[in-house]
Amino acid sequence: MAQRWLGRGLRRWALLSRPMTLGVRLLAFDEAGRVFLVRHSYRDGWYLPGGAVDVGETALAAARREAAEEGHLQCLTEPRLLAVFYNRREGRDHVLLYRCDRAQQVKPRRPDREIAETGFFAPDDLPEGATPATRRRIAEDRAGGGFPEDW
């Protein structure tokens, strides 16, 4: 519970301290066509791996870094940019969505203060609790694109 409050507080601080935030999310698929998702310890639901782009970092480098940090994922194919979204719910936040056609988890990701659970899931059989935005991005990708501007 305390971690959830901390997560909310950090998001609020980020909104107040920066005029705009830039984040990345990654649709990462294994050889079986399953998509990788993470469940955070500080918020409910299953999400695509991702996070903020750090100062001095490219968005592509951030997508690779977040994949490695959150899931011990290695992209075997170059991630490619699919869409840019505006996240109205988070305020001045923009999210870049990348797709990695072949990824592998190089070692299991043990639960810690940030990540509670990870896994690969069939796109048509996502875990209970997969967030609406996560479900939308996967469905849009499966339909061949046509992404909206809003997250």
Cα separation of 63 and 25, whole Å?
A: 7
What pLDDT is attached to residue 66?
98
Q: List the end-to-end C-alpha distance of the chain, in Å, as a whole number.
A: 26
Give the number of C-alpha atoms closer than 13 A to the C-alpha of residue 100, restricted to the C-beta side: 31
Each residue's pLDDT tens digit, 48-72: 999 999 999 999 999 999 999 999 9
Q: Is the pLDDT of residue 17 over 70?
A: no
What pLDDT is attached to residue 128?
97
Q: What is the mean pLDDT of residues 131-148?
A: 97
Q: Is the pLDDT of residue 15 over 70?
A: no
Cα separation of 145 and 139, whole Å?
A: 9
Q: What is the mean pLDDT of residues 82-95?
A: 88
Q: Record the pTM.
A: 0.86
